[in-house]
């Protein structure tokens, strides 16, 4: 499947589902949308997703981001957005699908994004602490995304990147 088509289908899957049945933003003041010390917050776009931001909504910016794989884009925002325009990483947060090697085989896994621990109180409870429907939607999004080889390679690189973070 084409990478943009995969991203669109995953976004559709995640659009109306949240980590808890209640509004988790009430317990943290929507910490994941707050700006960092530079006055910006940011999410890495999935390969192909940048096509949806050719015309950037007000307050958003794109910058090249090569930490995980060359050619990625980081979308920064000013902490407010039209919910329908938020990137897929925001919809999946604080979880993420990754492709990891186990017993010599690469497979899909849903995990707490290690970068989320600094901001999101839900991370403490792990994947099991989140709404089952949300976890299953993240898993299904991962399955959809893996249908494109470029995105699957990104999810594999993400797993390697998280290993690197763990060993720092
Ligand atoms: S930081 Fe975590 S708990 Fe707070 S709004 Fe974001 S996902 Fe929900
Ligand atoms: S793009 Fe929207 S949902 Fe994502 S961090 Fe910014 S304000 Fe929050």
List, for residues 110-159, the tens digit of each pLDDT value: 999 999 999 999 999 999 999 999 999 999 999 999 999 999 999 999 99
Q: Which ligand is nearest to the CA of 18?
A: 1
pLDDT at 56: 93
Q: Which ligand is nearest to the CA of 33?
A: 2
Residue 27, token pair as written in the block: 């317990």
Q: Is the pLDDT of residue 39 over 60?
A: no
Ligand 1 touching residue 42 (CB < 6 A): no
Residue 111, token pair as written in the block: 């995990």
> Does residue 112 form part of some domain?
yes
> Does residue 34 form part of some domain?
yes
Ligand 1 touching residue 19 (CB < 6 A): yes
Cα 6 to Cα 74: distance, rounded to the nearest angstrom: 19
Domain around 146: 3-17+28-166
Q: Mean pLDDT, to the nearest integer, of 87-111? A: 95
> Does residue 22 form part of some domain?
no
Inter-residue contact 13 to 141 (CB < 8 Å): yes
pLDDT at 102: 86
As a whole number, the mean pLDDT across the chain is 93
> Does residue 32 form part of some domain?
yes
DSSP string of the chain, one letter each residue? --HHHHHHHHHHHHTT--SSSS-THHHHTSGGGS--TTS-EEEEPPTTGGGGGSSPPTT-EEEEE-SSSTTEEEEEE-S---GGGS-HHHHHTTEEEEEEEETTEEEEEEEE-GGGTTT-GGGGGTGGGS-HHHHHHHHHHHHHHTTSHHHHHHHHHHHHHHHHHHT-
> Does residue 23 form part of some domain?
no
Whole-model pTM: value is 0.94
Task: Give how many domains the chain has, as a whole number.
Answer: 1
Ligand 1 centroid–CA 23 distance in Å is 9
Ligand 2 touching residue 59 (CB < 6 A): no
Cα 47 to Cα 166: distance, rounded to the nearest angstrom: 24
Q: Ligand 1, atom 6: nearest CA belongs to which residue?
A: 32
Ligand 2 touching residue 90 (CB < 6 A): yes
> Does residue 113 form part of some domain?
yes
Ligand 2 touching residue 98 (CB < 6 A): no
Inter-residue contact 16 to 91 (CB < 8 Å): no
Of 18, 25, 91, the one to substitute when testing ligand 1's pocket (max ligand atoms within 8 A of C-beta) is 25
């Amino acid at each position: 499947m084409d990478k943009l088509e995969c991203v669109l289908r995953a976004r559709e899957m995640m659009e109306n589902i949240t980590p808890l049945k209640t509004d988790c933003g009430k317990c943290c003041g929507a910490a994941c949308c707050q700006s960092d010390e530079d006055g910006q917050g940011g999410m890495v776009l999935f390969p192909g997703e940048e096509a949806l931001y050719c015309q950037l909504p007000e307050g958003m910016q794109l910058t090249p981001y090569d930490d995980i794989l060359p050619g990625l884009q980081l979308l920064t925002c000013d902490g407010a957005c039209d919910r329908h325009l938020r990137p897929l990483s925001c919809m999946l947060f604080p979880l993420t699908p990754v492709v990891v090697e186990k017993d010599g085989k690469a497979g899909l896994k849903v995990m707490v994004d290690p970068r989320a621990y600094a901001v999101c109180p839900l991370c403490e409870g792990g994947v099991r602490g989140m709404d089952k429907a949300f976890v299953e939607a993240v898993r299904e999004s991962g399955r959809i995304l893996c249908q494109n080889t470029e995105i699957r390679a990104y999810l594999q690189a993400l797993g390697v990147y998280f290993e690197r973070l763990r060993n720092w």
